[in-house]
Chain A
Amino acid sequence: MIKIEQLTKEYGKVRAVDSLSLEIHREEVFGLLGPNGAGKTTTIKILNTLVKPTSGRAWLDGFDVVQNPLEIKQRIGVVPQENNLDRDLTAYENLKIYGLLHHLPDLSRKIEERLRSVDLWERRHDPVQTFSGGMQRRLLIARALLGQPQFLFLDEPTIGLDPQVRREIWNTIRRIRTQGGTVLLTTHYIEEAEALSDRVGILSKGKLIALDSPENLKKMVGEYVVEYINQDGSKVYQMCRTREDAQCHLLHTENEMTFRKANLEDVFVKLTGARIET
C-alpha cells in the first residue's frame, strides 16, 4: 500500500505539490490526472526517492520514502517520462546493468523473457540510439518490470506511442495488477486514465481536487454533456445529470449542439475551469 500524508514540495516560491494526502491500495491501478505542471511527476519522483519532499511524509508498505530509501528501491519499478536509457549501450546491456544493480537472480533468463515480451529480443544487440521512440518506450517498460516490482510507477507511459502499442502496454499494466502489484500512473490521456484506473486523483496546481473511481467522478459532475458554440465563438460545455436534462437543453435552443457521455476531461473542466491539454 502507498500512503501519502500532507506531502508538499516547493521549488523556490513554486509549490509543485501542495499538502497531498491519499492512499493507494494493493492490486490497484491509480491514475493521477492533470495538466502539465499539476505536480504529477514530482509526486511520482518523491515516491520513488528521486525528489526529497519539503514537508509531509509518504510510505510504501510501511517504509518511509525519506528514512528507508533502500527498502523502497528494492520494491519499485519506474517508467519515467524522460527516456533515461543509456543510448550508447545495447538493449541487452541496458537490462543487464539494471539487473545487476538490483541484484536480480537468473538474470539472463529474465532479460530474454522481458525483451521477448516487448518484441525487442531480435534487436537486443543493437544500440538503443538506433531504436524508434516507441521501441525505446517499450524497452523502458521491460526494464521497469525486470525485477517484478511490487510498486510500479509509470509517468506518461504511452506518450508518443501508436494506438496498437499503447493497448499492448495497457494489457501489461492490467496483468501487473492481477499479479498483486500496485500501479501509480500519470497521464494526460483521458482515455488511458479511464481505461486503466480503478481510481483517479485529479491534480491541479499541486492540489488533489477530486479522488474517486472514474464512474463516480463522472456521476459527481453529471454523466452527460451538451456542447455548443456560443455567439462569441467559444465552445460551451453543459453538464447534465440525466439524459432527460440533456434533452431539455437540446429542445430549448436554436444553436447546433452535440450530445455525448461525459469523460474525465469534463470532470476536470467542471472542477477547475481549464482543460487538461492546457
Chain B
Amino acid sequence: MNWYPIFLREMLQFKKKLFRLGYIFTSMMVPLLYLLAFGLGLGRSVQVAGGSYFDYLLPGLVAMSSMNNSYNWIASGLNLSRLYFKTFQVLVQAPIAPTSIIAGYVISGMVRGLFASLMIILVGLLAGSGFHLSLIFIFTLLLNCFLFSNLGVIVGMITKSHEDTSTYANFFILPMVFFSGTFFPIERMPALLKGIILCLPLTHTNILIRKTVWDGQAWLALLVMTAYAALFFLIGSRMIRNYSE
C-alpha cells in the first residue's frame, strides 16, 4: 500500500478540478462531439461489422477517451510536478520504492480514464445505443487505462518542458486515435499501413474491446496489450529509480 499516498494526492487534486466550473464539459468535449456528430450522423444509416455504426463507434470512443484521459492526466501532471511545481521531489525523497511511486500515479490515471469512459457510455446509452457491458469490455478498459497511464509516466519523466507533452500527444497519440480502429475497421487500410497499425497498442484495445468471445484474435490482442503495459511499467519504474536533477 505504499502507493496509496500518491494515489490519494492525485485523487484530491482530481476532486478539486472536478468541481471547477466547466471542467467535465471541456474534458469530455472532443469524444462527445465525435459521438454525436459521427454516431448520430452516420450511426443509423451505415452498417459496420454487422451492426449500426453508432454501436461500432461507442466502444472505440471509450478506448480513445480512456487512453487520452489516463495518458494526459499523468504525462501532463508529472511533467508539471517535476519541472515547474517541484512537488515530485517530495515523492522521490520519501522512503518508498520507485514501483510504489509509479503504481500510485498509474492507479490514479486509471481512475481518471475510467471516469471519462463512464461519461461516454452514459451519453451513448442516453442516445439509444444497444451497448452491453461485458467482462471482456471491462477487462480491456482496465488494461487500456493501465497501459496508457504507464506511457504517461514515461512521457512525463522524459519531457524537458510542458510543451513537449503536447508534441508527444500530436505525433503519437493523435495519429493512433485515427488509424487504430476507433472510427472504422483497420481491415480497410492498405496492407503496408495495416502492418504499422497492428504494432500500435490502441489497435489491440479496439480489437479486444469489441469482442464478445475469447477467440484467437482476442488472445493475441491481450498478449500485445499486456506486453506493452509491462514494458511501459518497467521503463517508467527505471526512470523514477534513476531520477536525478
Q: Which residues of A contact B (CB under 8 A)?
A: 45, 48-52, 70, 73-74, 76, 78, 80, 82-89, 93, 97-98, 100-103
Contact = CB atoms under 8 A, between A and B. Distances in A.
Interface string B15-59: 010000000000000000000000000000000000000000000
B8 A84 contact: no
Contacts of B92: 49-50
Given A73-B95, A86-B9, 19 more contacts: A45-B245, A48-B93, A49-B92, A50-B93, A52-B242, A70-B95, A73-B93, A74-B95, A80-B86, A84-B89, A85-B87, A86-B13, A86-B87, A89-B13, A89-B16, A97-B9, A97-B12, A98-B94, A101-B94
B4 interface: yes
B87 A84 contact: yes
Contacts of A83: 86
A51 B5 CA distance: 23
12 contacts: A49-B92, A50-B244, A51-B245, A76-B93, A78-B93, A88-B16, A89-B12, A97-B5, A97-B8, A101-B90, A101-B94, A101-B96
Nearest to A75: B95
B85 interface: yes
Interface in B204-245: 242, 244-245
Interface in B82-130: 85-87, 89-97
Interface of B: 4-6, 8-9, 12-13, 16, 85-87, 89-97, 242, 244-245
A50 B93 CA distance: 7
Given A50-B93, A84-B89, A84-B90, A101 B12 contact: no
A100 B4 contact: yes
Contacts of B89: 50, 78, 80, 84
Given A70-B95, A78-B93, A85-B87, A100 B8 contact: yes
A200 to B, nearest CB: 25
Given A50-B245, A97-B5, A82 B93 contact: no
A88 B18 CA distance: 13
Contacts of A103: 95
Contacts of A80: 86, 89
A102 B94 contact: yes
A73 B2 CA distance: 14
Given A45-B245, A103-B95, A98 B90 contact: yes
A185 B9 CA distance: 29
Contacts of B96: 101
Nearest to B8: A97
User: Which 3 residue pairs spanning A and B have beta carbons closest together?
Assistant: A101-B94, A100-B5, A84-B86
A141 to B, nearest CB: 14
Contacts of B5: 97, 100-101
B90 A82 contact: no
Contacts of B245: 45, 50-51
